[in-house]
Structure 1
Amino acid sequence: MISNPLSTNYDLVNTVNDEKFTQIYTPDQGAVHLLNNERTFKNIKPMLCACAVGVHSYSTGIHRIRVRIDNGNAFLGIRSRSIPPVPDDCAAGRYDSSPATYGWGNTFCIFNGTPREFQRNHMYRCGDVYVLELNCDEHRLTMINENTKEQDDMEVDVSSAPFPWCLFIHLPRTTAQVSLI
C-alpha cells in the first residue's frame, strides 16, 4: 500500500459529478441493469460476468470519480477507450483481464490486464465509498477508501493503455451492484 498523500493542488483537480455508464459488455444483456439515470450498474444474473465503461474520456489533468460498492464485489479502474474490453475465456469470461485495463479488485490489482496480488486483504467493503483519482499528467491511478482512508496507487503504462482513458467497472459472476456518487 502506497501512502502518498492525495493531490494537494485542489484547483487543478476535477471532481467528476456527471459520470455515467455508457456501454455494457456481457454475453446476456438481460443479466444487467442500469439504474439511477445510468449511474448504478447491477448484475442480476449469477454465472455471467459483465462490465461497463463511463461516458467521459480522460487525457489530461487530474480527475476524481466517487464510487460506492452497494452489494457484492467489483473491479474498479480504468482502461483505454480505444481498446474495447473482451471476455477472457481462460478466466471464466472475465473482462478485467483484457489488455489496457488497470485497477483494483477485492484482493488483487490488474496491470494491463495481468493480475497481481494486492497488499491488503478485503480493501472493499459494501457501502464504503471509493475515490478513483486519474492523474493523466503523471500516468497514475489512485484508489482511496473514503471510509477507512486506505489508499493505493499504480503507474499506468500509456503504451499499453493509450489515452483517452475511461472509467471501467467489472462485475464478477455473482450478483453485485456499484453506484457512482
Structure 2
Amino acid sequence: MGYPTRLGNLICIYLEKISSKLRHLAEQLRKAREDDDFVETDLRLWTTKLQELKINITDVHPTVTVHEDPFITLVAQLNIKSISQRSEEDEKLARICGSVQLDDNNCVAIQRDSTIISYVRGKNEYSFGRHQIRFRVDKTELHYSTVFGIIAKMETLSKWPSSCYGWSNDDTYYSNGNYYSNNNSMGNDLSGQISFTIQLLVDCDNRKIQYFNEKTKNMRELNINLTKCPFPWQIFFYLHEAGDRIQLL
C-alpha cells in the first residue's frame, strides 16, 4: 500500500471521529432544545466545542467545512430570564468569620491577615431554581488556597463547614466538606492562575453546582447530596493569604 493511500485512510478515520463528535454534540443540542434545559454557560461550551471541531476538520482537510442548516435551529433562543443573575439589589457578601474586610457595598471581600483564615458567605438563600453568580478572584500569590462554592445556611462557620461543596484554585474540590485531589482525566484549570473570573451556577432544581472559567472556557460540575448539604444553600468563599480578594460582578 502506497503512502498516499495510507494517508487517505488516516484522514478518513480522523474525519469519521470528528463526525461522530459532531453527531453527539448535535444530539445534546437537540435534547436541550426539546427539554428547554440549558443555560448560558451550556451554550458557550457548545459553541466552543463546535469551533474546535471546525478547526480540527480544516486542519486535516481544508476542503471539508461545517455549517449550520438555516432551516434547522438546534437552540431557538436562549432565555436568560430563566436564570437568576446578581444585580445591585441581589447577591451580596454578608456574614464573615476571620480577618476579612467588606467593601464596595458588600460586593468585595479582602483578606487582611495571613495568620487568620476567613470564611465569607453570601446574603441570598437558594432552595429552588437556577441562579448564576459571577465573580472575580484576585490572589497576591499562590502559597495559600482560595475556595469557592456553596454551603448550607445552617452552618455556623465556627469551623470548616461540613456541608461545603466547591473548588479551590489549586484544582482540588470539596464534597460533603471533604477535600479531594483533582481528577487527572479532567486536567488542570485554575492551577497557577493569580486572577480568574468565574460564573457559578447554583442549580437547585437539579441539585448540582457548576462553574465556568471565562479565561480557559472550562466547566466543572458537582452533584450535591441534600443529606449533607440541605436547602437553603448560600455561596461560600474561603480566604487565607493577606490581600486576596473576591469581587461580585
Question: Same fold by TM (over 0.5)?
Answer: yes
SS class of match (1:121): coil
How do residues 1-181 of structure 1 correspond to structure 2 at under 5 angstroms? 6-7=41-42, 10-17=80-87, 18-26=90-98, 31-72=99-140, 73-87=145-159, 95=160, 98-107=161-170, 108-119=172-183, 120-121=187-188, 123=190, 125-181=193-249
Scaled by the length of structure 1, the TM-score of the pair is 0.83
Deviates more, 1:149-158 or 1:113-122: 113-122
How far apart in 2 are the matches of 1:180 and 1:49?
A: 20
Q: 1:96-146, CA deviations, whole angstroms, 9 ceiling, x for partnerless residues?
A: xx2111000122100011011123435153332101100000001001101
Deviates more, 1:8-17 or 1:37-46: 8-17
SS class of match (1:128): strand
How far apart in 2 are the matches of 1:174 and 1:153?
A: 29
Runs of 4+ in 1 over 4 A off after TM superposition: none
How far apart in 2 are the matches of 1:46 and 1:82?
A: 27
Q: 1:53-72, CA deviations, whole angstroms, 9 ceiling, x for partnerless residues?
A: 10000000000000101224
Gaps of 5+ in 1: 88-94
SS class of match (2:195): coil
Deviates more, 1:15-24 or 1:5-14: 5-14
Contact 1:48 1:174 in 2 (8 A): no
Amino acid at match of 1:47: T
| Greater gyration radius | 2
Q: How many residues align?
A: 165
RMSD between aligned residues? 2.0
> If each structure's helix is expressed as a fraction of its own residues, which one has the higher value?
2
**Displacement of 1:10 after TM fit?**
3.5
How far apart in 2 are the matches of 1:20 and 1:163?
A: 19
Amino acid at match of 1:15: Q
SS class of match (1:130): strand
How far apart in 2 are the matches of 1:52 and 1:75?
A: 10
Gaps of 5+ in 2: 1-27, 29-37, 44-78
